[in-house]
Amino acid sequence: MVKADVSQVSLPDLAGIVDANRRTDLVMAGIGISVLLIAMSLLAAVVIDLIVGGWPRLINPDFYLNFPSRHPLQAGIVSAWVGTILVMLVTAGIAIPLGVGAGVYLEEYAARNWITDFIEINVSNLAGVPSIIYGLLALGLFIHGFGLGETILTAGLVLALLILPVIIVSTREAIRGIPLDLREAAYGLGADKWQTVRLYVLPAARSGILTGTIVGLARAIGEAAPVITIGALTFIAFLPPSPLQASPPFINFEWLESPFTIMPIQMFNWVSRPQAEFHINAAAAGVILMVMTLAMNGVAIWLRYHLRRQVR
Amino acid sequence: MPTLPSSLSPSDPARSPLRASESFLHRRALWGSFAGGCLLIAAASSVFVTLGIVYVLVTESMGFFAQVSLLDFLTDTQWTPVFENAHFGVMTLVSATVTVAGIALAVSIPAGLALAIYLSEYARREVRETVKPCLELLEGVPTVVYGYFTLLFFTPLLQTFIPGLEGFNMLGPGMVMGIMILPYTASVSEDAMRAVPAGLREAGYALGYSRFRVAMRVVVPAAFSGITAAFILGMSRAVGETMVVAIAAGQNPNFSFNPTEGAATITAYIVQMAMGDLPHDSIAYQSVFAAGIVLFVITLTFNLIGFFLRRRFKEVY
């Protein structure tokens, strides 16, 4: 049966089939590459559109030092970028210990039972909950429940909860990559579980955890929806009190309870206005926001690449 | 506790190394269990977040459902919460949400599949290693930036091809969102394709299949549950996406599946209401949480289906 088939196919036909296959493969590769090019040109279009649109404001130093204003040409982003930095401090301070702790627990401590299974499903589900739902959580619980108000603390907290799954997942992946030998060597030297984790596993997984944390924080910087939902004001013509002071104890936490604005909200505010002059400001704010997030993502990608080469 | 040979045991019991190490062991055990407890609390915190979300959505919308019947909520085709004669037909918001997400998927499924097949079956390793980080950058762009781009660049561009397109419409945001979720859908489906054992591919090649046939007849069917999961999870993202639609699809509740019209999605409605200062006990405030429940249930359903589909493809091989 097979023999008969082969004898019916003459050599020129075979060559024709091979050619046809090559053509299909070429077409498929072409389609794949063009999808890739379309996606990349969208990214390029976004970047170019923003830079061109915001150029007049981007080159003006006042833009970085002025407060928002009714007059588009005097409006600036100082309260927005300061607010972003302060909110990120809170977010990092909450999300890193919680996320890394949860990741370590799930990888090193958790028994294989239904509770662990449940926590795992829960984390992966939380990663898919829309960010605006976290905003509703903050509005209902932090603001109307706990009375925290529309403050930097509330915003930092809600963004921390939002990126918690990202940090948990990347911590787990980093820890899973640490060979068992390292743990056994530590146990062999007489270390107990916590010492093994603290002195050997965590330092070895450091760069992987750092990568995930940076990716998470980059996501938090760009998030507007949950912070809008808590009703953050958009017209903030003052700075929160400084975290550092000249007199002892040199640090104060009043800034946590201050109203604020952040970069994505400032940009949303400007883009929603009908006057085209404000759209210039929105574009300029968008460039700064993208520089922040892309720089962080770039560092994370570089770290991961560097890490992979190290492991090999 | 093992006893030391008498020659080694020191005369002064207070200075015994054994005594010292006992107290050290004791302290170490205390620290160990303390640390373990802290880690458990950290892990449990994620469960509390979920509980908190469900608690807030349910309690805050209870007052709403006391005044609006579930039947009206699901069948009315008007959504006018702040009018004198208020209507609460959530399908008005759902129609826009589904339309935008549908357009996003119509862009993302063919593009994501083509990209994933290219990356997993055609591209050389170095190409793949270069392309994936670039795609991640696409994912890293803040959504408010995509919103600006859609409203002020992409929609005017589309208007030159489609004359009847409104300034606020569902087509532009849907298409941009389709490319926005592309890195995610493509990389999850590529993972699923790469999990297909090489033996299956080799069997295909041994039968004289071309790469294209191996991809379409062997790899895609074998990775089908993983690929489906990728697009279901992508759909969930598109449904929950906020800033692009809030900026570029308009904030006018409009029961319509026509992509050239503007319409408020569930997420856009929540943003719009949050910007006005609503009194805590008003029905308009509570309607935000009722809309939130619908959004949460839709995305939760997609996420759970996606989770179990993904888990399945991981277990098969």
- pLDDT, tens digit, 9 for 90 and up, residues A167-180: 999 999 999 988 99
Mutation pick from B49, B109, B209 vs chain A, by most beta carbons of A within 10 Å, is: B49
Over residues A129-158, the mean pLDDT reads 90
Please answer whether residues B240 and B267 qualify as being in contact, where contact means their C-beta atoms are separated by less than 8 angstroms.
yes
**What is the per-residue pLDDT for B150?**
94
Does the pLDDT value for residue B52 go beyond 70?
yes
Q: What is the dihedral of CA A112, A118, A120, A121, to 10 degrees?
A: 140
- Is A146 within 8 Å of chain B by CB? no
pLDDT for B313 equals 66
Nearest chain A residue to B120, by CA: A32
Q: Taking residues A189-194, what's their average pLDDT? A: 88
pLDDT at residue A120 tops 50: yes
Q: At residue B12, does pLDDT exceed 80? A: no
A to B CB pairs, distance under 8 Å: 281
Closest CA relative to residue B142, chosen from A46, A93, A272, A37: A46
Share of residues in chain A with pLDDT > 70 (%): 91
pTM: 0.87
Tens-digit pLDDT profile for residues B93-121: 999 999 999 999 999 999 999 999 999 98
Q: What is the average pLDDT score of chain A?
A: 86
Distances (CA, A) of B234 to A58, B225, B239, B254: 35, 14, 9, 24
Closest residue on chain B to A131 (Cα): B240
| A309 pLDDT above the threshold of 80 | no
Among candidates B32, B289, B299 on the partner chain, residue whose Cβ is nearest the Cβ of A194: B32
Query: Is the pLDDT at A12 greater than 80, yes or no?
Result: no
In sequence order, the 6+-apart residues with CB closer than 8 A to the CB of A155 are A87, A90, A227, A230, A232, A260, A262
**Residue among B39, B114, B182 whose CB faces A32 most closely:** B114
- Structure ipTM: 0.87
Q: Which of B144, B179, B277 sits opposite A267 (nearest CB)?
A: B144
Q: Torsion angle, CA of A5/A7/A13/A18, rounded to 10 degrees? A: 70
**For A214, which residue in chain B has the nearest alpha carbon?**
B140
What pLDDT, on a 0 to 100 scale, did the predictor assign at position B7? 45
Q: Tokens in use for B220?
A: 């895609």
Residue B7, Cβ neighbours under 10 Å: how many? 5
| Whole-angstrom Cα Rg for chain A | 26
Lowest mean pLDDT among A6-20, B71-85, B135-149: A6-20
Cα-Cα-Cα-Cα dihedral sign, residues A300, A135, A100, B132:
negative
Residues of A in contact with B173 (CB under 8 A): none
Does A51 lie at the interface with B, CB-CB under 8 angstroms? Answer: no
pLDDT of residue A233: 63
pLDDT at B9: 46
Q: For the residues A17-42, what does the mean pLDDT come to?
A: 89
- Do residue B242 and residue A118 have CB atoms under 8 angstroms apart? no
Convert the pLDDT of each residue in B183-198 to its tens digit: 889 988 998 898 889 8
Per-residue model confidence (pLDDT) at position B317: 55
**B215-272: pLDDT as tens digits:** 989 999 989 888 998 999 899 999 999 999 999 988 888 888 888 888 899 999 999 8
Which residues face A251 on adjacent strands? A244
Q: Which residue of A has its CA nearest to B134?
A: A40
Closest residue to B39, CB basis, from A46, A109, A218:
A109
Distance (Å) from the alpha carbon of A231 to chain B's nearest alpha carbon: 6
* Beta-carbon separation of B275 and A228 below 8 A: yes
Cα–Cα distances in angstroms (integers) from residue A296 to residues A73, A93, B128, B187, B301, in the given order = 30, 17, 22, 21, 32
Q: Is the pLDDT of residue A2 over 60?
A: no
A132-141 pLDDT tens trace: 999 999 998 9
Averaged pLDDT score across all residues of chain B: 86
Identify all chain A residues contacting B41, using CB atoms and an 8 Å cutoff: 101
B309 band by pLDDT with thresholds 50, 70 and 90: confident
